[in-house]
Amino acid sequence: MDAAKPLIVQSDHTLLLDIHASEAENARAAILPFAELEKSPEHIHTYRISPLSLWNAASAGMNPRDVIRVLNRYSRYEVPESISEGFADIMGRYGRIRLREKPGTEELILSAGGEEVQREIAAARVLADYLTKTKEGFCLKLTNRGTVKRELIKLGWPVQDEAPLRAGRPLELSLRPFVLRDYQNEAARAFLGQGGPGTGFGVVVLPCGSGKTIVGMAVMARLKTNTLILSANVAAVHQWIDELLDKTTLSRKQIAEYSGSAKSVAPVTIATYQILTWRPGRGENFPHFSLFRGHPWGLIIYDEVHLLPAPVFRVTAELQAVRRLGLTATLVREDGAEDAVFSLVGPKRYDVPWKELEHKGWIAEALCIEVRLDLPDSHRVPYAVAGKREKYRIAAENPRKEEAAVELIANHREDHILVIGQYISQLEAIARRLQVPLVTGKTPNAERERIYREFKKGELRIMVVSKVANFALDLPDASMAIQISGAFGSRQEEAQRLGRILRPKKNKNSYFYTIVSRSTVEEDFAANRQKFLAEQGYHYSIQYWAELQMDLPGTRPGTGEDVSAPPEKRKAPR
């Protein structure tokens, strides 16, 4: 045993990294190519070696000996023999199936090493519609490139894709003078690799507020090619436009918006997922998919790639000759479609623990607190006799949550606060109570952006928002979130909502409150949330509140003070 070494290698293929050991940072960098980060609490981070992570390592040029050498180099204890027994077989699968272009045609050649592999592919019914047997192996259309790769990885055969990526139409742009953070530079470099086969596509995972947009712009500046950016909503489109104008040499004429309200195309075009997945009727074609095919893009950036809709997955399967960058705070998908992101957009190229960026001051320190309240007497019998779905709704809309939210706001008079929820009627009630704006998916874009602008300027201190808070909401001064209802237990949602308050503030913590109905199904979902946040390294505390008595709507108890305005603009309610 060498107590100074940072890594504990276990026979179940998990790696425990002691982040306080002197070589922890070097060990983390060494294992990242072949191990996936699963948990990063305060002292010990957990990584897992999986077939997917080993194939990713193989695609980067590593072999089983390289993996074993790293484990032996940093392991505190002797590495279990059993852990490495399957490495050669698993990593050996990568490279046995290769995909290359068929010169002068619109087709590709799929070659498989070994008679048994060829027979397995030929016998796979899911591939029968896409592959034609030839002397060289199998022939397929260019448009089926991604689909075949995805089906093969489901069968346990990762494809070494050697068909070239197209450069796209050149576009001269560069970053304006500012200093890229070290991890942003590393992320862009990891995505681009050495520029050979197997690079130029993949996913960068960074916390909300850490500057994923800047990583995307850094990649654009290095590739210098026409770029299509896909984003979650119109607000995110406008944020991208503002950032591109502020931080690159692009002019406004070189940037276009493609959304429900504006449909133009330029060398850099930012579109919403919603407009791309719109179609006149069920079973009809998606008319806006022509945006993908009708322009010589050299790079497609998928912002919030974890949200990628199924129709966009399908068209992405056709676009395997284009460089593809996915940006996200979490690769978790509640539908389990992470393998689709891997095979169609690309493998994870860069990841960093949230708490590591917090310790370096790049994101704010957040305190996660759960407030538990009893249901009112009038709700207990209806709750007891309700079905499962209705139980959740009754618990989520507990009227005492409104009182608790007002109390929390009154106790945080210097914070800029987002009140976030799932049910519109509940949000409308609390917005009226606080006399503050409500932003939902139906709020017109112009009004939404006006409200965001007032919040950024400090003219508005409190804002009530629906699930739109989950997606690309850039409010850097937000320092507190109160979650009164939601898809509790959704790890993806928790990551997004927490990320809304993680922009660093000078000498100031951020607060993430969740209000839960006690002794209801909400507590069951809360356990999932608590686990997820603890795995990210956040301290999570639970408070039990007794019944609250408020003096006046929108006031601090006992003062009659209006709590919705900034401190310097408060006045007694009318």
For the chain, how many structural domains are there in total?
Answer: 4
Residue 375 lies in a domain: yes
My answer on whether 27 and 119 are in the same domain is no
Domain limits for position 206: 182-352
- Angle at the Cα of 369 (from 364 to 371), degrees rounded to 5? 150
Residue 420 lies in a domain: yes
> Residue 10: what pLDDT?
92
Closest CA to 277 of 306, 310, 307, 250: 310
Q: Looking at the structure, tell me whether residues 147 and 67 fall in a common domain.
A: no
Q: Cβ neighbours of residue 288 under 8 Å, at least 6 residues apart?
A: 258, 263, 271, 275, 276, 278
Place of tokens 């874009």: 445
Q: What is the domain-level CATH number for residue 563?
A: 3.40.50.300
Element spanning 373, H or E: strand 366-373
Q: Alpha helix locations (H) across 248-387?
A: 273-276, 290-293, 310-318, 338-340, 354-359, 377-385
Are 191 and 238 in a shared domain? yes
- State CA 508 to chain mean position distance: 25
The answer to whether residues 314 and 187 belong to one domain is: yes
463 and 366 both lie in a single domain? yes
Show pLDDT as tens, one digit a residue, over the chain (574 residues): 788 899 999 999 999 999 889 898 889 888 988 888 877 777 888 898 988 888 878 877 889 999 999 999 999 999 988 887 788 889 989 889 998 888 888 788 999 988 889 999 999 999 999 999 988 899 998 778 888 988 898 888 888 888 778 889 999 999 998 888 999 999 999 898 876 656 788 899 887 778 899 999 999 999 999 999 999 888 789 889 999 999 999 999 999 999 888 889 999 999 988 888 888 877 777 778 888 877 899 999 999 887 777 778 777 777 777 899 999 877 766 566 666 787 788 888 888 877 678 777 787 777 888 899 999 999 999 999 998 889 989 999 999 999 999 999 999 988 889 998 889 999 999 999 999 999 988 888 888 889 988 988 889 999 999 877 665 566 767 888 898 987 655 555 666 666 666 665 666 778 889 899 998 988 877 777 677 676 666 667 888 887 654 333 333 333 334 444 444 443 333 2
Task: Indicate whether 376 and 476 sit together in one domain.
Answer: yes
Do residue 272 and residue 194 come from a single domain? yes
Same domain, 376 and 291: no
Residue 563: what pLDDT? 41
